[in-house]
Amino acid sequence: MTDPRLETLRQALPTLRLSVEPSDLEHYGRDWTRRWTPAPLAIAWPADTGEVQALLRWAHAQRVAIVPSGGRTGLSGGAVAAHGELVVSLERMSRVLGFDPVDRTLTVQPGIALQAVHDAAAAHGLHYPVDFGARGSCTIGGTIATNAGGIRVIRYGNTREWIAGLKLVTGTGALLDLNRGLVKNSSGYDLRHLAIGSEGSLGLVVEATLKLTEPPLPAQTLLLALPSFEVLMQVFAEFRARVRLQAFEFFTANGLAHVVAHGGVDPFDARHPYYVVAEYDAGDDAQQAAGLAAFEACAEAGWVLDGVIAQSQAQARQLWRLREGITEAVARYRPYKNDVSVRVGAMAAFLARAQALLGDAYPDFEVVWFGHIGDGNLHINVLQPDGSDDAGFMRQCAQVTGLLAGLLAEHGGSISAEHGIGLVKKPWLGSTRGAEEIALMRGMRAVFDPARILNPGKLFD
The total number of residues shown for the chain amounts to 461
The minimum distance between CB 338 and ligand 2HG, in angstroms, equals 8
What part of residues 374-403 is at the interface with ligand 2HG (CB under 6 A)? 379, 381
Alpha-carbon span 373 to 268, nearest angstrom: 22
The minimum distance between CB 385 and ligand 2HG, in angstroms, equals 18
Alpha-carbon span 316 to 279, nearest angstrom: 9
Number of residues binding to ligand 2HG, judged by CB under 6 A: 8
Alpha-carbon span 136 to 130, nearest angstrom: 13
Cα-based distances in Å from 271 to 218, 227, 231, 255, 460: 30, 10, 17, 11, 42
DSSP SS3 for 100: strand
The contact pattern for ligand 2HG, residues 231-260, with x = CB under 6 A and - = no contact, is ------------------------------
Residues 5/8/13/14 CA torsion (nearest 10 deg): 110
The minimum distance between CB 247 and ligand 2HG, in angstroms, equals 11
The contact pattern for ligand 2HG, residues 113-152, with x = CB under 6 A and - = no contact, is -------------------xx-------------------
The contact pattern for ligand 2HG, residues 280-309, with x = CB under 6 A and - = no contact, is ------------------------------
Which one among 327, 384, 414, 455 touches ligand 2HG, defined by CB under 6 A?
327
- Nearest CA to 424 among 23, 76, 101, 82? 76
- Nearest CA to 407 among 459, 344, 355, 337? 355
DSSP SS3 for 306: strand
Query: What does the radius of gyration of the chain's CA atoms come to, in whole angstroms?
Result: 23
User: C-alpha angle with apex 344: 340 to 348, nearest 5 degrees?
Assistant: 80
Pick the closer one to ligand 2HG by CB: 6 or 153.
Answer: 153
Pick the closer one to ligand 2HG by CB: 76 or 105.
Answer: 76
Residue closest to ligand 2HG, measured at CB: 327
Pick the closer one to ligand 2HG by CB: 195 or 380.
Answer: 380
Q: Does 337 interact with ligand 2HG (rule: CB under 6 A)? A: yes
Q: Does 425 interact with ligand 2HG (rule: CB under 6 A)? A: no
Q: Given the rule CB under 6 A, which residues bind ligand 2HG? A: 75, 132-133, 327, 337, 339, 379, 381
